[in-house]
Amino acid sequence: MELQHGIIILMGIAMILSAILAMVVKDLISSVIAVGVVSLFASIIYLLLQAPDVAMTEAAIGAGLSTLIFLYALHKTKDAEEEND
């Protein structure tokens, strides 16, 4: 039980650190990946807190699909910027 608490607290700290990283880092692609990492840690915490249904949703949508959709959106906007120059 104590070990599980320790793991959850570590995961929470890792979540906060990657969230700060997402804001601070200059490269947008790295920022998107950092946001995905936040979701991944969140889904592990949900699993440890006995909420497997929410954990599955968070892993599939938060960490998987939305990261890729952000990457696609980034790609699209980058092309538009080049055309305008």
Partner 1 sequence: MIKKLFAAVLLVFMAVMFYQLYSNITEKSELSGVARGYAERGASELGTQNIVTSIVVTYRGLDTLGEVSVLFIAATGVAVLLRRRKEDEEYAAPSKRQSSEILQTGTKLLTPIIVMFGVYIFINGHLSPGGGFQGGAVIASAVLLLFLSDVNYKINHGLFNIIESFSGAFYVLIGILGLLLFGANNFLDNRILPLGEFGMLLSAGAIPVIYSLVGLKVGTELASIIDNMKKD
Q: Which of 2, 73, 82, 83 forms a contact with partner 1 (CB under 8 A)?
A: 73
Q: Which of 2, 27, 53, 81 forms a contact with partner 1 (CB under 8 A)?
A: 53
Q: Which of 64, 83, 84, 85 forms a contact with partner 1 (CB under 8 A)?
A: 64
Residue environment code for 24-56, b if the CB has 16+ CB neighbours within 10 A, otherwise e:
eeeeeeebbbbbbbbbbbbbbbbeeeeeeeebe
Which residues are CB-contacts of 23 (< 8 A; sequence separation ≥ 6)? 31
Q: Is 16 in the site for partner 1 (CB under 8 A)?
A: no
Q: Which residues bind partner 1 (CB under 8 A)?
A: 52-53, 55-57, 60-61, 64-65, 68-69, 72-73, 75-76, 79
